[in-house]
Structure 1
Amino acid sequence: MAIGRPMFQVGSNIFELIEFTATKTSVVPTSDRKTPILYGVNVAKVREVIRLPIIVPCLTNAPEVLGVFNLRGAPIPAIHLAKALGYDDEPVTPSSQVIVTEFSSRKAGFVVAGTRRIRRVSWDKVLPPSSDAFNTITGMMLIENQDFIFILDFERILLDIESRSGGQGTSAYAIEGASQSGASAPNQGGSLGGASAPAASKRPLILVVDDSPTARRAICELLRGMQLDIIEYTNAEAAWKDLSTAEEGSDLSKVQLIVSDVEMPKLDGYSFVKRIRGNEKLKKMPIILHSSLTGDVNKDRAKQAGADAYVGKLNRKEIVEALKAALPPTWTGAS
């Protein structure tokens, strides 16, 4: 199954996801009941869904990595997704399918029992995870029959696997040149972060919006290492509410540039940009969208929304170039 270009309007706060299930054995000791759990992944990260190919085993320290397969001349790692989620009892059978993904300039094939449908949903129906314990989930939503569908963080799953197999792993989020002093966490609810700029500071003040704690911490460390002050938000809806109502003289009224993720519960990055461009007070604010979603389609969507730049997630070179283009010439922190 090939995945086509999204047809919905940029800024509609709509996205599409592919539904699939993973089967978990009951945690009750006296029961061996197996429960299918409904999951989803953003279609924007999916190149295609294919039948189970011939998988060649390879030496790895990660048991969920089944091996590699050939897709039109390119070797793709095959990952048993149920096993990566801790569900060891779901078998791989000839009827299994592979969700071939591409994000952060990397390709991977996630083996699942089968896909169900493509669902079009609004980000405002997606709730953020209720706890950091759900570290492989970016959001959840209530659907028909009072069921939940959980949107998986495929980037986090892949990074964890790479870390355990001796690859790049979570170090992908430790950008070369970033400050290692540590970033202050935002307040609960995703409002003004503890790293806001002092009133007397002459350094540019940047608003960073990202729902991933790991990615947000890394981008903030990078920006601080460039002599930039930071205000952090965990979601664009809260950032928009506070930014659009900020009083003159407040820290938020001094923001000179926004760096925002694209995929976020409640309000996505494209819709966030559209709202800012429609606000008379904020419409000239420079905005850099910062995402693991790759390809010209996503760059085109960012341009349509009104973003000044679209950069790869934690790509230092692209971020620095975008900052140089957007910030005043007097800023020299990127040199």
Structure 2
Amino acid sequence: MAGVLDSVNQRTQLVGQNRLELLLFKLGGKQRYGINVFKVKEVLQCPPLTSLPKLHPTIRGIAHIRGQTISVIDMNLATGGRAIENVEERFIIITEYNRSIQGFLVGAVERIININWENILPPPNGIGRFNYMTAVTEIDGDLVEILDVEKILDEISPVNTDVTADVIDPTIKEKIKDKKILVADDSSVARRQIQRAITALGLECDMVKDGKEALDLLKKISKTGSVTDRYALMISDVEMPEMDGYTLTSEVKADPALAGLHIILHTSLSGVFNEAMVKKVGADDFIAKFNPDELATAVQKVINLDDQNN
């Protein structure tokens, strides 16, 4: 199983084609779950775990893997289920999210599938805010849940969302007057984090949950006016249901009515993200999640450049 992802770095050709590859796994029952291969560094059978005092209840222990000490999170516990049993017979998915590396203990790992983002759909309405789904899809007639890992990690170790006072440009609000920031991200936790950073600058933002929703909104606005009169810039995640951030950026930059909108790609794909693709699709900047000072600085940089050019 450790070799199942040996070719992960050769899969970057999927980036920008509104496609992704999912690693399918199970926790304790028959339900299948998926995780983007680009976030996975390795899959291996669970090694011996070392328990330490005062660990978060969902962390089953610490593993020493290839010279690194990695926290191993029981994915079933983290999503409200029971602890996974017979740990030594289970598997760990080593991932990189938001500049940190962690292991997720799962019951079984199945296979990698290639799928179009158009077939990845937002969670159904009415499931409540306490669920851990960020998207769903159908594989072999079965529903596959794509988990909101950012939400899971934030509950275990919340990130600081405060912008340092000396980073804030007090003139930034006046430079964009009544314009807002458009934010596209499928994770409710990420949207809240971004909103706090934007609000700290004295700015306002509109939130959408995926690339398609963002594109539809921009096209609607462009029919009656200029999108750059409404928005100073857009901050977009890369991984989103129906339309990913790369495809969204390409569509915006290819449309003369939208092309003037500045776009910052903001993603947890920090370990394997393809800088060449960011340039290819025409994004104005890229930053890895989540550092409030870096996000605030990037937003202010775009606004200041636009102000100088006007």
- The change in CA–CA distance for 1:203 and 1:314 in structure 2 (over 3 A counts) is farther
Higher relative contact order (CA 8 A, sep 6+): 2
Kindly provide the CA deviation profile for residues 80-124 of structure 1, in whole angstroms up to 9, marking residues without a partner as x: 222223332631343311100111111111112221001111111
Give the one of 277, 283, 287 matched to 2:259. Answer: 283
CA distance in 1, matches of 2:152, 2:180: 33
Richer in helix (by share): 2
Q: Distance in 1 between matches of 2:199 and 2:129?
A: 28
Distance 1:11 1:87 in 2: 35
Deviation digits for residues 145-181 of structure 1, max 9, x if unmatched? x21000112222122223xxxxxx2xx1633359xxx
Partner residue, 2:101: 107
Change (3 A) 1:7 1:298: closer
- Amino acid in structure 1 at the alignment position of 2:303: L
Partner of 1:139: 135
How is 1:144-183 mapped onto 2 (pairs within 5 angstroms)?
144=140, 146-162=141-157, 169=158, 172=159, 174-177=161-164
Question: What SS is found at the alignment partner of 2:13?
Answer: coil
Contact map agreement 1:77 1:108 (CA 8 A) in 2: yes
1:121 to 115, 118, 133: 115
The count of aligned residue pairs is: 291
Whether the aligned pair in 1 keeps the contact of 2:41 and 2:94 (CA below 8 Å) is yes
- Flag structure 1 segments of 5+ consecutive residues without an equivalent: 24-34, 163-168, 179-196
TM-score computed with the length of structure 1 as normaliser? 0.79
Does the 8 Å contact 2:73/2:104 carry over to 1? Answer: yes
Contact 1:263 1:269 in 2 (8 A): yes
Report what 1:240 is aligned to: 215
Instruction: Work out the CA distance in 1 between the residues paired with 2:204 and 2:80.
Output: 40
Could you tell me which residue of structure 2 aligns to residue 262 of structure 1?
Answer: 238
Deviation at 1:290, TM superposition (A): 0.8
> Which residue pairs with 1:17 in the alignment?
22
Cα root mean square deviation, aligned: 2.5
**Distance (whole Å) between structure 2 residues aligned to residue 296 and residue 61 of structure 1:** 29
Amino acid paired to 1:291: T
Residues 94 and 316 of structure 1: is their aligned pair in 2 closer, same or farther, counting only changes over 3 Å?
Answer: closer
| Counterpart-to-counterpart distance in 2, 1:266 and 1:173 | 30
1:318 aligns with 2:294: yes
TM-score, length basis structure 2: 0.84
Q: Percent identity?
A: 31
Query: Are 2:118 and 2:241, in contact at CA under 8 Å, matched by a contact in 1?
Result: yes
Contact 2:96 2:271 in 1 (8 A): no
Cα separation, 1, equivalents of 2:91 and 2:228:
48
Match of 1:184 in 2: none
Q: Unaligned 5+ residue runs, structure 2?
A: 166-172
| Whole-Å separation in 2 of the counterparts to 1:152 and 1:285 | 31
Q: 1:89 to 1:36 in 2, by over 3 A?
A: farther
Q: Does the CA-based 8 Å contact 1:8-1:14 persist in structure 2?
A: no
Deviation of 1:51 (Å): 1.9
Q: 1:48 and 2:42 equivalent?
A: yes
* SS, match of residue 245 in structure 1: helix
